[in-house]
Amino acid sequence: MSKIMPLSGFPEWLPSQRLIEQEIIGRVQRTFELYGFAPLETRAVEPLDQLLRKGETSKEVYVLRRLQADDGESGSADTGQRDELGLHFDLTVPFARFVLENAGKLQFPFRRYQIQKVWRGERPQEGRYREFYQADIDIVDRDSLPAHYEAEIPLVIGDALGGLPIPPVTIQVNNRKVLEGFYRGLGIEGTEDVLRQVDKLDKIGPAKVAELLTGQGLSAAQAERVLALAEITAPDSGFADRVTRLGVSDPLLDEGLEELVRVVDTAVAEKPGLVVADLRIARGLDYYTGTVYETLLRGYERFGSISSGGRYDNLATAGRDVFPGVGISIGITRLLGILFGRDALTASRSVPTCVLVAVNSEEERPRSVAAAAALRRNGIPAEVAPSAAKFGKQIRYAERRGIPFVWFPGERDSVKDIRSGEQVDADAATWTPPEEDLRPVVSAAV
Amino acid sequence: MSKIMPLSGFPEWLPSQRLIEQEIIGRVQRTFELYGFAPLETRAVEPLDQLLRKGETSKEVYVLRRLQADDGESGSADTGQRDELGLHFDLTVPFARFVLENAGKLQFPFRRYQIQKVWRGERPQEGRYREFYQADIDIVDRDSLPAHYEAEIPLVIGDALGGLPIPPVTIQVNNRKVLEGFYRGLGIEGTEDVLRQVDKLDKIGPAKVAELLTGQGLSAAQAERVLALAEITAPDSGFADRVTRLGVSDPLLDEGLEELVRVVDTAVAEKPGLVVADLRIARGLDYYTGTVYETLLRGYERFGSISSGGRYDNLATAGRDVFPGVGISIGITRLLGILFGRDALTASRSVPTCVLVAVNSEEERPRSVAAAAALRRNGIPAEVAPSAAKFGKQIRYAERRGIPFVWFPGERDSVKDIRSGEQVDADAATWTPPEEDLRPVVSAAV
């Protein structure tokens, strides 16, 4: 028998932390709904060959088999790997599949959010898990997707994360057309190889990246300008002039610059300080074709992006059906793992209970049960004491869990605020606690 | 490449159905919190040998492997099956493991709820899935657990399911001590074999069960009384006299009757009509040792129980640490699958959006974005039209999704209720919709 112990990479929170996680997810969800995104969940599994369409991620996938898959049904051994199932490693690939599968039943443009766990067999480290929550929004349309949706995404994320008791965030934006157009304008072929090297800037610095680029066949002048572009960053549309001054010209570059200016201008108008154009952001070799996003948490920049995404034109495509989209994902577990690791979030109590109803004697328990029922009818979370112990012990039950009130059934009932010690007569049918005591309050730890 | 198609047993809802599922889960969760249950989630995976402790379920488990588990870390091939992981098939086994693992950090008695997906490799059929949601509550204590908690569970489920737009439910209760004590008092050995046959009553009827029992070595008189006990059902504690009149006496039987009377009496006092004592309910060969519960949905009895559970004394046990518990699980996906299959639930719209903000021209889009932002600041879900098409087309965008209001920015803004056609001047900073239009309303279809 395996020892009972934690599994590395599969985090489990204690109830007080789960309470915080639920509050965070609930607030993010309410923001997504304020923007009109409809809820969606997809199954946890996808056919393995669908998951492996992007060869880069193959090593991360968990493959499933039924312990006794021997009953001749489809999906068993003889049909081979084609029908094997794997756990999804993100929510974008399943969403693209869902759109293709249900296109006839959906209204386009289709705005959906999706908050689910995903699994990756990566080596665990701080902020990197094998099982974790992602909270995604995407907007897809049939045939073509207006660029204004690329400007909307940062506003949603700004509201969603800005409404949480966490440090402020900065959303870094770039546009793949700017990078590809600029490289093309420089006469560089194989923009993907260049992107791959530029992605290493944070890790190895510009000198090493320049070496790699020239090693790849770029001239020193080309490499220098690739790096000059990557150095450009601005909190407003001023970045565009700086790009132009680098003297490269290409129609795709112009198109990308125009789109990126729109994203930045919209953010400056609606949420000043939220967005920064950063022309180094590339999002690796992912499926993005337009705007790309990464999000840093102030004071925790070294942990990397907590919310990333971009525009994709070719992900949900089957024959002549094309559904371009734009989306972004918040790494909920990553965010919480980082903040929990520093005790940066706190809940005012570890249970939902607002009132513990004391029990005078086991014979009188039905009376306490009835008082608790009356409180619940008014929306007040209440539980009944586990035993008719001395009141001191019953009060300690509440104290240890942070329950603020203890109710005493009597000739006249009374309720005690165990923080102040104040006790008053009360009627369970009409009493209400102060609004701020009704539910646990989640806040940044001071 | 595998064809894009549904996977049997892995249901996926359209957004309007997911919206209903979310509302149902949210209401169940709020009821659990009203009773002071704390939130918990456990990882989706458990070590395979933990999952197989109950040999009966081994055939249902999905086993995981990493597609490229070749990097020498623990959990790879050479450490063998001991470290293999499987997807959990219920929430009770993981919860018992969590309690043992974290006993030092939890407050006992510990009340928790847990709403998660579980996976079983069973052959799919209506109401039976390979991936489905369960909503569980459990109360565990250290060393011993007072019997009054067994009487509390049906009240919680009565409130949780009674608050949903679904047909009324009946909770059938029995007590394993009644069955085992009665059989023992009859001089029968091997009560599990008897339970297994009694469990078949619904399927094959009493005559066949009597045959099986005598075939197993029971006398005709013993079999007759086993069946007489199974026939007893009552909406109140009257069942106890009927059991006593069968003339069997045993201390365990008496203990079980006393506990069952308490469960029924509590329900009669608090929620008349909710609970029925039914002495046929056995819950198979599960780990239950006291009260057991099954729940039928009126008009859908043939689909079997939608919420089952019971008391268990030996599930969370490690050496001298014993954590007896009582719990119950609502089969959320099963319930929804049955009701969706009959179009028995409906949502007033398919998106959260309350107001679509029209766009006069693409140049004026920022004005519409600002109006939508103002509405959201007051908690009103709003989205901006996808294009500056003719207003008729923009209104149809709202109509097709059931969005009730369209907002028109102008010299003075105005808002149109597209159901009535009424249009009035309005200020986005102060306008509010009727309360019932703010969010989609989920109700029973008429």
> pLDDT of A295-323, one tens digit each?
999 999 999 999 999 999 988 888 888 99
Whether A62 and A181 map to the same domain: the answer is: no
Whether A153 and A34 map to the same domain: the answer is: yes
B91 is written with which tokens?
A: 């929430």
Whether A285 and A415 map to the same domain: the answer is: no
Interchain CB distance below 8 Å, A366 and B266: yes
Interchain CB distance below 8 Å, A109 and B61: no
Give me the CATH number covering residue A171.
Answer: 3.30.930.10
Residues of chain A contacting residue B365, judged by C-beta atoms under 8 Å apart: 148
Chain A residue with CA closest to B103: the answer is A14
Interchain CB distance below 8 Å, B45 and A383: no
Interchain CB distance below 8 Å, B68 and A148: no
DSSP A12: -
3-state class of B39 per DSSP?
Answer: strand
Residue A2 lies in a domain: no
Residue B23 lies in a domain: yes
E strand intervals along A207-267: 233-234
Nearest CA of chain A to the CA of B313: how many Å?
17
The candidate with the shortest Cα–Cα distance to B116, out of B134, B129, B131, is B134
Residue A154 lies in a domain: yes
Report the b/e string of A72-101 with b at 16+ CB within 10 A. Answer: eeebeeeeeeebbbbbbbbbbbbbbbbbbb
Interchain CB distance below 8 Å, A83 and B112: no
Q: Under a CB-based contact definition with an 8 Å cutoff, are residues B155 and B266 in contact?
A: yes
Residue A133 is predicted with a pLDDT of 98
Q: What is the pLDDT of residues A111-161, one digit of tens each?
A: 999 999 999 998 888 778 999 999 999 999 999 999 999 999 999 999 999
Question: CA B109, B115, B117 angle in degrees (round to 5)?
Answer: 135
* Contacts for B428 with CB less than 8 Å, ≥ 6 apart: B370, B371, B374, B375, B407, B413
> Got the DSSP string for B372-418?
HHHHHHTT--EEE-SS---HHHHHHHHHHHT--EEEE-SSS-EEEET
Interchain CB distance below 8 Å, A401 and B2: no
Residues of chain A contacting residue B362, judged by C-beta atoms under 8 Å apart: 148
Q: Does the predicted interface ipTM exceed a cut of 0.90? A: yes
Interchain CB distance below 8 Å, A14 and B106: yes
Single-letter code of the amino acid located at A228? A
pLDDT band at A79 (very low <50, low <70, confident <90, very high): very low
Which residue numbers of A belong to the known binding site?
90-92, 120, 134, 138, 283, 287-288
Taking one residue from A and the other from B, the number of pairs with CB-CB distance under 8 angstroms is 244
Whether B79 and B96 map to the same domain: the answer is: no
Whether B251 and B377 map to the same domain: the answer is: no
Nearest CA of chain A to the CA of B98: how many Å?
9
Chain B residue with CA closest to A129: the answer is B43
* Contacts for B94 with CB less than 8 Å, ≥ 6 apart: B42, B43, B46, B88
Interchain CB distance below 8 Å, A64 and B59: no
B274 is written with which tokens?
A: 């909710």
The candidate with the shortest Cα–Cα distance to A153, out of A306, A291, A278, A314, is A291
Pairing of strands A131-140, A110-119: antiparallel
pLDDT band at A25 (very low <50, low <70, confident <90, very high): very high
Residue B2 lies in a domain: no
Whether B155 and B263 map to the same domain: the answer is: yes
Interchain CB distance below 8 Å, B43 and A69: no
Q: What is the pLDDT of residues A156-182, one digit of tens each?
A: 999 999 999 999 999 999 999 999 999
> Measured between CB atoms, which of B21, B34, B63 is closest to A381?
B34
> Measured between CB atoms, which of B19, B269, B369 is closest to A366?
B269
Residue B3 lies in a domain: no
Whether A119 and A181 map to the same domain: the answer is: yes
A433 is written with which tokens?
A: 């606690």
> Measured between CB atoms, which of A36, A63, A73 is closest to B351?
A36
**What is the spatial distance between Cα A210 and Cα A219, in angstroms, rounded to a whole number?**
10
Whether A324 and A205 map to the same domain: the answer is: yes
Nearest CA of chain B to the CA of A211: how many Å?
31
B121 is written with which tokens?
A: 């490799």
Whether B158 and B271 map to the same domain: the answer is: yes
> Which domain-ending residue is among B294, B323, B346?
B346
Interchain CB distance below 8 Å, B39 and A100: no
> Which domain-ending residue is among B346, B373, B404?
B346
Single-letter code of the amino acid located at A445? A
Interchain CB distance below 8 Å, A45 and B10: yes
Question: CA B4, A291, B370 angle in degrees (round to 5)?
Answer: 105
Residues of chain A contacting residue B266, judged by C-beta atoms under 8 Å apart: 366, 369
To the nearest whole number, what is the mean pLDDT of chain B?
A: 93
Residue B52 lies in a domain: yes
> Measured between CB atoms, which of B33, B62, B109 is closest to A352?
B33
- Residue B438 in marked binding region: no
Interchain CB distance below 8 Å, B18 and A38: yes
Domain residues for the domain of A167 are: 15-45+98-346
Whether B59 and B110 map to the same domain: the answer is: no
Interchain CB distance below 8 Å, A36 and B352: yes
Chain A residue with CA closest to B351: the answer is A38
The length of chain B, given as a count of residues: 446
Which residue numbers of A belong to the known binding site for L-histidine?
90-92, 120, 134, 138, 283, 287-288
- φ, ψ dihedrals at A72, nearest 5°: 75, 0
Interchain CB distance below 8 Å, A107 and B376: no
Nearest CA of chain B to the CA of A7: how many Å?
9
Nearest CA of chain A to the CA of B437: how many Å?
14
Nearest CA of chain A to the CA of B173: how many Å?
20
**What is the spatial distance between Cα B434 and Cα B431, in angstroms, rounded to a whole number?**
10
CA dihedral B125, B126, B128, B130 (to 10 degrees): 60
Interchain CB distance below 8 Å, B38 and A61: no
Residue B4 lies in a domain: no
> Which domain-ending residue is among B315, B346, B377?
B346
Question: CA A129, A50, B80 angle in degrees (round to 5)?
Answer: 50
Give me the CATH number covering residue A386.
Answer: 3.40.50.800
CB atoms within 10 A of CB B280: 18
> Measured between CB atoms, which of A1, A62, A362 is closest to B64?
A62
Q: What is the pLDDT of residues A242-295, one digit of tens each?
A: 999 999 999 999 999 999 999 999 999 999 999 999 999 987 767 899 999 999
pLDDT < 50 positions in chain B = 71-81
> Measured between CB atoms, which of B45, B58, B141 is closest to A10?
B45
Nearest CA of chain A to the CA of B228: how many Å?
33
DSSP B75: T
Interchain CB distance below 8 Å, B34 and A400: no
Query: What is the number of structural domains in chain A?
Result: 3
Nearest CA of chain A to the CA of B400: how many Å?
8
Nearest CA of chain A to the CA of B222: how many Å?
38
E strand intervals along B145-184: 169-175
Interchain CB distance below 8 Å, B102 and A41: no
The candidate with the shortest Cα–Cα distance to A28, out of A130, A142, A114, A121, is A114
Interface test with A, best of B351, B361, B399 (most A CBs within 10 A): B351
> Poorest-confidence range of A10-19, A175-184, A408-417, B183-192?
B183-192
Interchain CB distance below 8 Å, B400 and A148: no
A435 is written with which tokens?
A: 């609004």
Whether A239 and A376 map to the same domain: the answer is: no
Chain B residue with CA closest to A132: the answer is B43
> Measured between CB atoms, which of B68, B387, B400 is closest to A58?
B68
Residues of chain A contacting residue B148, judged by C-beta atoms under 8 Å apart: 362, 365
> Measured between CB atoms, which of B58, B83, B101 is closest to A4?
B101
Whether A110 and A35 map to the same domain: the answer is: yes
- Residue B90 in marked binding region: yes
- Residue bearing tokens 């599922």: B21
E strand intervals along A59-210: 62-66, 85-87, 110-119, 131-140, 169-175
**What is the spatial distance between Cα A30 and Cα A18, in angstroms, rounded to a whole number?**
18
- Residue B134 in marked binding region: yes
Residue A3 lies in a domain: no
Nearest CA of chain A to the CA of B210: how many Å?
32
Interface test with B, best of A25, A33, A101 (most B CBs within 10 A): A33
Single-letter code of the amino acid located at B272? P
